[in-house]
Structure 1
Amino acid sequence: MTEDRLPLAELLAKAGDGDFLRSVAEAVVQLLMETDVDGLIGASRYERSGERATYRNGYRERALDTRLGSLQLRIPKLRQGSYFPPFLEARRTWRRRWPRSSRKPGLAASRPGG
């Protein structure tokens, strides 16, 4: 596995900013995605392997809103196929997420049978 980890000194330097936990969470989530993609591809970054299914093809930026603040993630892209982290929800608008009938006033508070 390659050294994708942030140096400890860099994390400790960010501790003074008040963003230490957010930075650690960002690094952990990024490492989880990289490890997940390594398993999906069948090889780590820059590793030659006969079992390799596809290759990496850059990243796309995505913000994840958490209680710690907004995490800026770099989601790996693949040349063939796609990867989307299972812990992230696909972006959907509010209107697509909720059916039209449930948005009418009074229906959200009503209970079946009562």
Structure 2
Amino acid sequence: MSDPIVSVDEESLRKDIVELVRKTVQDTLNALLEQEVEEMVGAERYEHAAGREAYRSGHYRRKLVTTSGQIEPDVPKLRGATFQTAVIERYRRRETSVEEAIIETCLAGVSTRRIEDVSEILWGAGVSAGTV
């Protein structure tokens, strides 16, 4: 018998797919935020328009834990108006499904320390005992 011609490193493939999904979620969220700020300002990026409501003033990074892992979307800043997005709730640090999973594991009787460890493994971001 001959040796197999193609060999697949399943662990490496799995990590690449997880990273691809996480990057896709982050890029999609960034695109949604850009679209929302364009509608609010009344002009595209670097566009000079007479009827502007506000002016762009850069971005800031924000950490958000999703089921795909921790992402850092670029949230636009504005001058002359307050940018409030419908995509991410204000002061929200975790996706709702992540919070529901934490609540369910706590109600099932899992210890706080184990919840911290499991959240680190699943989502790449630990959850403090106070949050649990």
Q: Given the two structures, how large is their TM-score scaled by the length of structure 2?
A: 0.54
Q: Unpaired runs of 5+ in structure 1? A: 1-14, 93-114
Question: In the alignment, which residue of structure 2 is the partner of 1:112?
Answer: none
Count of residues in correspondence between the two structures: 78
Deviations 1:34-69 (A, max 9, x none): 010000000000111122111100112111111000
Instruction: Pick the structure with more helix per residue.
Output: 2
What is the match of residue 67 of structure 1?
A: 67
Give the deviation of 1:18 after TM superposition: 3.5
Match of 1:22, as an amino acid? Answer: R
How far apart, CA to CA, are the structure 2 residues paired with 1:88 and 1:18? 22
Matched with 1:100 is none
Moved more, 51-60 or 34-43: 51-60
Aligned residue number for residue 50 of structure 1: 50
Aligned ranges for residues 1-114 of structure 1 at < 5 Å? 16=16, 18-91=18-91
Q: Tell me if structure 1 keeps the 8 A contact 2:22–2:69.
A: yes
- Larger strand proportion of the pair: 1
Q: Distance in 1 between matches of 2:23 and 2:39?
A: 25
Does structure 2 retain, via aligned residues, the 8 Å contact 1:77–1:83? yes
Q: Is the 8 A contact 1:22 1:71 kept in 2?
A: yes
User: Unaligned stretches of 5+ in structure 2?
Assistant: 1-14, 93-132
Normalising by structure 1, what TM-score?
0.62
Alpha-carbon separation, structure 2, partners of 1:18 and 1:66: 12
**Alignment root-mean-square deviation, CA:** 1.8
